[in-house]
């Protein structure tokens, strides 16, 4: 049985483990801490325009060398397997990569998403048109104002929204939204309206839905808890390598030997990239690229971009070949049994339309390639 070690406990590492287990590999996932996955707002953006992605030279999905049919087939398999697995952990998600809806966050601003928790799905803005919406406010909570959310829903999305304040007297003084996490949703007085709740409550009524979150995110925390159940807590500090192969990954007191390794270590929040004057990949010294060129050759330009246009600077990351083997700065793939997936990859807008799409699909493929060692 092939032994696969996945480094990273975010959505990319989870999808890599799902795919490798499907290939009957013996999989260990090791994770240091929650990363960006635990902060997502509550709507998974998978892809918007596959044709446009394929026409971009450095996008990680374009680098796979697949056509739109191949990508679509893999996305179908990855998303449905992920939804099934999360369902088994008690988290039901709706939607698919071909569908796209708009969902309001706690400030009433709309965000697009393809796959959302069932508790968010009922709040799709198009489906709320023509309905009355009661936005639940909790007077003890200081970092959220239902009245201004209701006003934004009215002004920005023409939804007939109004605020309804419900007191929860046993909340701590100067309570925050996070203090609502895991509490039973209070029942509103309003009748015949859809009910928008700030995120975190449980046992929503049939006509209730959750708004998207700002970080720290109850949606992210639920997802992180569900996907982290089977992982080993630890920090990989180095890899043991032989000619053309990785042999083991090491924590401070243990070596994890495996036949194949997936690094799904995330970007700056996860710890897969180290910022500074030049961004580096800390575990194996892999190449970090921007627009296809090694970051080290860009001088101070990228460092300045971090302040002038962070979205462009954030396209920095590791580059891979068609089988998701990460590359050195010179463009060669140093290890046959090493694969990279998720937000550690550069070449795309990480807070944009593929925020979850790249981690899910590259995780899914890297897990399979690792299990087959192809
Ligand atoms: C604030 C915020 C909000 C976002 N909201 C959305 C959204 O609403 N929709 C959307 O589609 N996208 C969103 N994104 C983007 C999306 O969350 C990320 O692209 C995605 O979660 C990245 O997943 P990942 O598994 O690649 O990385 P991460 O989730 O960051 O996971 C990396 C993992 O690697 C582990 N790790 C790193 N180094 C080591 C090591 N040496 N040893 C052991 N473990 C290690 C970390 O501990 C962590 O577990 C958001 C991002 C942020 C930052």
Contacts by 275-281 with C-beta closer than 8 Å and gap 24+?
Answer: 275/306, 277/303, 278/302, 278/303, 279/316, 281/318, 281/326, 281/344
Among 270, 275, 340, the mutation site with the greatest number of ligand 1 atoms within 8 A of its Cβ is 270
Write out residues in the chain with pLDDT < 50, as ranges.
none
- CB of 347 sitting under 6 A from ligand 1: no
**98: in domain:** yes
Cβ neighbours of residue 106 closer than 8 Å, sequence gap 6 or more? 144, 149, 177, 198, 199, 211, 212, 213, 214
- Pairwise CA distance, residues 312 & 107, whole Å: 26
Judge whether 340 and 326 are in contact, CB under 8 Å: yes
Of ligand 1's listed atoms, the one at least distance from the Cα of 350 is: 19
Whether residue 83 sits in one domain with residue 21: yes
Cα–Cα distances (Å) from 129 to 64, 108, 148, 272, in that order, read 40, 14, 19, 42
The pLDDT value given to residue 307: 74
**365: in domain:** yes
**CA atoms within a 13 Å half-sphere pointing along the CA-CB vector of 35:** 27
What tokens were used for 195? 């009910």
- Pairwise CA distance, residues 205 & 232, whole Å: 36
- Pairwise CA distance, residues 139 & 189, whole Å: 15
- CB of 86 sitting under 6 A from ligand 1: no
Residue at token pair 């969902």 = 103
What tokens were used for 66? 């697949």
Q: Which residue's alpha carbon is nearest to atom 27 within ligand 1?
A: 266
The pLDDT value given to residue 269: 95
- Pairwise CA distance, residues 288 & 190, whole Å: 54
Whether residue 209 sits in one domain with residue 105: yes
What is the C-alpha end-to-end distance of the chain, expressed in Å? 15
The pLDDT value given to residue 302: 73
Domain boundary among 180, 215, 250: 215
- Pairwise CA distance, residues 148 & 266, whole Å: 35
Whether residue 253 sits in one domain with residue 334: yes
In 3D space, the residue among 21, 57, 54, 45 whose CA is nearest the CA of residue 116 turns out to be 45
Whether residue 201 sits in one domain with residue 71: no
The CATH number assigned to the domain holding 361 equals 3.50.50.60
Domain boundary among 169, 186, 215: 215
Expressed in angstroms and rounded, the spacing between residue 169 Cα and the centre of ligand 1 is 35
**221: in domain:** no
Domain extent, residue 240, equals 3-89+229-372
**pLDDT tens readout for residues 278-330:** 899 999 999 999 989 998 887 777 777 777 777 777 789 999 999 999 999 99
**222: in domain:** no
**224: in domain:** no
- Pairwise CA distance, residues 332 & 330, whole Å: 6
Whether residue 102 sits in one domain with residue 84: no
- CB of 350 sitting under 6 A from ligand 1: yes
Number of structural domains in the chain: 2
In 3D space, the residue among 215, 229, 168, 222 whose CA is nearest the CA of residue 200 turns out to be 222
Whether residue 49 sits in one domain with residue 84: yes
Judge whether 136 and 198 are in contact, CB under 8 Å: yes
Rg, Å, the chain Cα set = 22
**206: in domain:** yes
Whether residue 208 sits in one domain with residue 239: no
Expressed in angstroms and rounded, the spacing between residue 317 Cα and the centre of ligand 1 is 13
Whether residue 308 sits in one domain with residue 193: no
The pLDDT value given to residue 254: 95
Task: Give me the phi and psi of 302, to 5 degrees please.
Answer: -70, -35
**170: in domain:** yes
Whether residue 251 sits in one domain with residue 356: yes
Domain boundary among 160, 188, 215: 215
- CB of 12 sitting under 6 A from ligand 1: yes
- Pairwise CA distance, residues 161 & 339, whole Å: 48
Q: What is the pTM of this model?
A: 0.97
Whether residue 328 sits in one domain with residue 243: yes
The pLDDT value given to residue 374: 75
Whether residue 85 sits in one domain with residue 130: no
The pLDDT value given to residue 277: 80
**223: in domain:** no
Expressed in angstroms and rounded, the spacing between residue 40 Cα and the centre of ligand 1 is 8
What tokens were used for 257? 């030997």
Whether residue 189 sits in one domain with residue 84: no
Q: What percentage of the chain reaches a pLDDT higher than 90? A: 87
- Pairwise CA distance, residues 149 & 224, whole Å: 27
The pLDDT value given to residue 208: 97
Per the DSSP assignment, residues forming a β-bridge with 261 are 5, 338
- CB of 345 sitting under 6 A from ligand 1: no
């Amino acid at each position: 049985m092939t032994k696969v070690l996945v480094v990273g406990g975010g959505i990319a590492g989870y999808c890599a483990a799902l795919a490798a287990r499907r290939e009957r590999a013996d999989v260990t996932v090791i994770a240091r801490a929650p990363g960006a996955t635990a902060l997502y707002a509550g709507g998974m953006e998978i892809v918007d325009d596959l044709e446009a992605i394929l026409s971009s030279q450095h996008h990680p999905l374009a680098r796979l060398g697949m056509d739109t049919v191949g990508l679509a087939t893999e996305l179908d398999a990855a998303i449905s397997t992920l939804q099934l697995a999360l369902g088994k952990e008690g988290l039901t998600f709706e939607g698919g990569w071909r569908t796209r809806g708009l969902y309001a966050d706690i400030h009433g601003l709309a965000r697009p998403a393809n796959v959302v928790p069932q508790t968010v799905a009922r709040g799709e803005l198009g489906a709320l048109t023509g309905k009355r919406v009661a936005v639940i406010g909790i007077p003890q909570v200081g970092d959220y104002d239902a009245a201004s959310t209701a006003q934004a829903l009215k002004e920005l999305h023409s939804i007939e929204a109004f605020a309804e304040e419900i007191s929860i007297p046993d909340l701590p003084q100067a309570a925050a939204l996070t203090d609502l996490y895991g509490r039973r949703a209070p029942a509103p007085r309003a009748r015949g309206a859809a009910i928008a709740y700030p995120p975190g409550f449980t046992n929503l009524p049939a006509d209730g839905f959750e708004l998207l979150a700002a970080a720290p995110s109850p949606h992210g925390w639920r997802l992180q808890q569900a996907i982290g159940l089977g992982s080993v807590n630890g920090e990989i500090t180095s890899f043991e390598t032989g000619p053309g192969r990785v042999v083991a990954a090491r924590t401070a007191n243990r070596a994890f030997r495996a036949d194949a390794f997936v690094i799904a270590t995330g970007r700056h929040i996860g710890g897969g990239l180290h910022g500074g004057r030049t961004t580096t990949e800390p575990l194996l010294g892999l190449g970090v690229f921007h627009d296809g060129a090694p970051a080290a050759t860009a001088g101070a330009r990228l460092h300045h971009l971090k302040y002038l246009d962070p979205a462009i600077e954030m396209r920095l990351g590791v580059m891979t070949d068609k089988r998701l083997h990460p590359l050195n700065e010179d463009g060669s793939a140093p290890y046959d049994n090493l694969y990279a997936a998720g937000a550690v990859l550069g070449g795309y807008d990480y807070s944009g339309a593929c925020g979850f799409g790249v981690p899910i699909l590259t995780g899914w493929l890297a897990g399979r390639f690792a299990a087959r060692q192809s």
